[in-house]
Structures are given as structure tokens and as C-alpha cells.
């Protein structure tokens, strides 16, 4: 309902190179928004800080959290475990905060099951060619690794229809603003993404939100992504 005090949970996913990390960082700047911190069994890297970048734990501790139902989602990636602890997210939502989870598609589907009210946003690169360029420009990937990332991107994009919204990141500032518009509307509505939209007082916001809805448009969005290749 409009004016609800409890926060909203937002999931942001997208292929490597889509710009989701930059968008999430921009969403949290100077706003009443919390970026969820994941738990992992991998060791810290560089200047990573316990409790800020990750909750670093051993496998025994991670396993106990699983056994106690303490994760909203979790997975093993390249031999290390990663998961979203349930308790910190719930505490922030009770405080009325918007909580953002930056996770992959598999994690997002677990969130859909474990937190049905979560709003799922997919960050799409403007084209396959642009995605390749972004990954190559990092200068850190081998040709084999680039090919793997592009194959993985195709797999992730094929699941677009399972998301509520899609934001094409052809301009970082505009894409961040689009996600903020989604978050603002959802906080005001407190409803499913496609319900009650006409109740918003700003018809401009309504039109913008409608453009970002996935709904039956998944194939068209994916088609535009491939069109420029």
C-alpha cells in the first residue's frame, strides 16, 4: 500500500560487462539504500574489508548457515561458496530501507522463490558487440575467457522473461536513473510491478515504468540486443 513503512527488496542482475556494479554503486550514493553484503568462503583480496565487501567465513560456518536456513540464496562458484545472509537483509527491510542484491540469474531465481515480493531488475548491455568491446577493453581477459563470458551472457539473457524490469545500459547515468525510477515507484506502490501503476500521480513516471517492464516484451528486447551484431 502507498505509504508502507517496510522496505523493499530489489535484485539487480545482468551479464559481466553490463555495468550492474557501477549502477548499484550509484544507487547507494547519498540515498536511503543499502547494498546487501554477501557471505563467502574465499579469502579476502587486496583491501577488501570484513563486513563491508563480504562476510568472510570458513566452510564449516557457511554450512551451518545453510543448515539453519540462513540464506536467501547461495551457490558454489569455482570451488568457493557465496550466499546472501537472510538476517541482515530482513533487519534493513524492517527499518524501511530499500535493499539491493547484486547477484547472478541463478541467485535471482532463488530469491524469487524465497522472497516473492522482491523486484527483479535485469541490466542489459545495448548490444552483443558493445558487450564484447567492454570486456575486451578491460585488458584482463584471455580470448578463451572472453568467449566464455559471452556464452554465459547469452545464457543469462535467455532468462530475461523471468525478470520484472529490464534496463538497457547504453548510458550509465540514464540507466541508474531508470533503476531509481523503478525503485521509487515500487516503494510508493508496494504492489507487484504491473499492478496499480495507474494509481501513480505522475503520468510521466507511469509511461517510463511501462517502457521498462519486461512482461511479454522479452523476445523483442533480446532481438534488439542481437540486431546490432
Tell me: the pLDDT tens digits for 162-190? 999 999 999 999 999 999 999 988 887 66
Q: What pLDDT was estimated at residue 31?
A: 75
pTM higher than the cut 0.75: yes
Do 199 and 152 touch, CB atoms closer than 8 A? no
Q: What are the distances in angstroms from CA 126 to CA 11, 53, 187, 193, 222? A: 20, 29, 27, 23, 10
DSSP structural state of residue 45 = -
Q: What pLDDT was estimated at residue 36?
A: 96
Q: What pLDDT was estimated at residue 214?
A: 86
Q: How would residue 3 be classed by pLDDT, with cut points 50, 70 and 90?
A: very low
Q: What pLDDT was estimated at residue 75?
A: 95
Q: Please state the rounded mean pLDDT for residues 6-23.
A: 93
Q: Please state the rounded mean pLDDT for residues 155-167.
A: 95
β-pairing, 165-168 vs 119-124, is parallel
Q: Is the pLDDT of residue 154 over 50?
A: yes
The 10s digit of each residue's pLDDT in 23-59 is 999 998 867 899 999 999 999 998 999 999 999 999 9
Q: Is the pLDDT of residue 199 over 60?
A: no
Q: Is the pLDDT of residue 196 over 60?
A: no
Q: What pLDDT was estimated at residue 203?
A: 60
**Cell digits of residue 49:** 574489508
Q: Please state the rounded mean pLDDT for residues 109-133.
A: 94
Q: What pLDDT was estimated at residue 82?
A: 96
CATH superfamily of 9-36+96-227: P-loop containing nucleotide triphosphate hydrolases (3.40.50.300)
Do 111 and 26 touch, CB atoms closer than 8 A? no
Q: How would residue 1 be classed by pLDDT, with cut points 50, 70 and 90?
A: very low
Q: Please state the rounded mean pLDDT for residues 112-117.
A: 94
| Three-class SS of 63-96 | HHHHHCCCEEEEEEECCEEEEEEHHHHHHHHHCC
Q: What pLDDT was estimated at residue 217?
A: 79
Q: Is the pLDDT of residue 100 over 90?
A: yes
Q: Is the pLDDT of residue 225 over 90?
A: no
Amino acid at each position: 500500500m502507498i505509504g508502507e513503512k517496510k522496505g523493499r527488496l530489489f535484485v539487480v542482475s545482468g551479464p559481466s560487462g553490463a555495468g550492474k556494479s557501477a549502477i548499484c554503486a550509484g544507487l547507494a550514493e547519498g540515498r536511503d539504500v543499502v547494498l546487501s553484503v554477501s557471505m563467502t568462503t574465499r579469502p579476502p583480496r587486496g583491501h577488501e574489508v570484513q563486513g563491508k565487501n563480504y562476510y568472510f567465513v570458513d566452510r564449516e560456518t557457511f554450512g551451518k548457515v545453510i543448515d539453519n536456513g540462513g540464506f536467501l540464496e547461495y551457490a558454489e562458484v569455482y570451488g568457493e561458496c557465496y550466499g546472501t545472509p537472510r538476517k541482515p537483509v530482513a533487519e534493513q527491510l524492517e527499518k524501511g530501507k530499500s535493499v539491493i542484491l547484486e547477484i547472478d540469474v541463478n541467485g535471482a531465481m532463488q530469491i524469487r522463490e524465497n522472497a516473492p515480493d522482491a523486484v527483479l531488475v535485469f541490466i542489459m548491455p545495448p548490444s552483443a558487440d558493445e558487450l564484447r568491446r567492454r570486456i575486451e577493453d578491460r585488458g584482463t581477459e584471455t580470448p578463451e575467457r572472453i568467449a566464455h563470458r559471452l556464452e554465459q551472457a547469452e545464457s543469462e539473457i535467455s532468462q530475461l522473461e523471468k525478470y520484472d524490469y529490464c534496463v538497457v545500459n547504453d548510458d550509465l547515468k540514464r540507466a541508474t536513473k531508470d533503476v531509481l525510477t523503478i525503485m521509487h515507484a515500487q516503494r510508493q506502490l508496494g504492489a507487484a510491478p504491473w499492478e496499480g501503476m495507474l494509481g501513480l500521480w505522475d503520468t510521466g513516471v507511469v509511461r517510463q515504468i511501462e517502457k521498462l517492464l519486461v512482461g511479454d516484451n522479452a523476445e523483442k528486447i533480446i532481438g534488439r540486443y542481437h540486431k546490432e551484431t
